[in-house]
Amino acid sequence: MSRPAVSPAAPPDSGAEPSRSGILYAVGAYTMWGFLPAYFLLLLPSGPFEIVAVRIFFSLAFCAVIITVTRAWPAFIAIVRQPRLLFTMGLAGLLIYVNWQTYVIGATSGNVVETALGYFINPIVTILLGVVLLGERLRVVQWIALGISVVAVGVLTVGFGSVPWIALILAFSFGLYGFVKKRIGPVVDPVSGLTLETLWLLPVAAVQAVIVAATPQGLAFGSSGTAHVVLMVGAGVITAVPLLLFASAAKRLPLVYMGFIQYIAPILQFLFGVFVMHEPMPVERWVGFGLVWLALIALTVDMVRTSRSGRMPVAEPV
């Protein structure tokens, strides 16, 4: 799952009224991200490494089509000619690769609930990274939320029987990805950014495809029917379309609204894992998730209060 870093030239004020189209774009983006586990399961019998390789190939192809249709190649080439931006996008590509690969492994191995956990705790991890990497000072409520989250991870370690590595890798890789994209600022638009990231990952995708093809199982792409081929190609579309919807929403909505809407994706993933995939939810997991949700409620209330007081900084959503 990849949610973009967006830097509108003129971000909406946190106290501004939301636009109806902005809400629809945001809900559409996060709903599509919420159904990604179900989509990836439709790609079986392809394994997670084949799925990610194909996702990279067709995300790049789809983005190239969009850039061609919108005649945005001059702007893209201008970005490529700036070494700092080019290599920074390479680092972003590496981080999003770790995120994608971990996410697909989790979604296709019966760990959908844990992938949802990763995106529930992502806002908390982002705050932690702000302290560690930027030396930011936290408000009391934010410290309390961090403390609750640490306890929650301990409880969930008991509930899962081991440290929830999938969730932690997702949260930290995505948090670091957002940090890198924020350092770039508004220079790189979402489509050009995804194009560069997948372009950097093209050799990785090629190596993965070759290795999978060399295994006894081989590549399922092209040998599992027409519907499977269409769905695999669609993996590129399902990557880029939510990104475009999100970019449009971020230009139209105050940050506080995006803060609420972002939870649609992990909520849908959690419900899918529990009620469709019937993944086990012992008491320890419910307690752990309850603590995470408590921390998020505290952060959300703090966000609303800060927004109303006019002290809320304009952030670049990921």
Whole-number pLDDT of residue 178 = 85
C-alpha to C-alpha distance for 290 and 294, rounded to whole angstroms: 6
The runs of H, that is alpha helices, within 109-223 are 112-120, 122-134, 140-160, 165-184, 190-214
**Distances 19 to 24, 33, 243, 250 between C-alpha atoms, Å:** 9, 21, 19, 11
Q: Are 122 and 61 in contact (CB under 8 A)?
A: no
Dihedral, CA of residue 50, residue 51, residue 57 and residue 60, to nearest 10: -150
Give the residue extent of every domain in the chain.
Answer: 35-309
For residue 12, what pLDDT is reported? Answer: 53
Per-residue pLDDT, 314: 38
pLDDT at 2: 54
Cis peptide before 45 (omega within 30 of 0): yes
Contact 100, 275 (CB under 8 A): no
| Burial zone of 129 (CB within 10 Å; 0-12 exposed, 13-18 middle, 19+ buried) | middle
Res 309: pLDDT: 64
What's the pLDDT score for residue 275? 96
- Identify whether the C-beta of residue 312 lies closer than 8 Å to the C-beta of residue 14: yes
pLDDT averaged per 10 residues in sequence order, the chain, 318 residues: 45 58 92 96 96 96 95 94 93 95 96 95 89 86 92 92 94 91 82 93 97 94 93 94 85 78 94 96 95 93 76 41
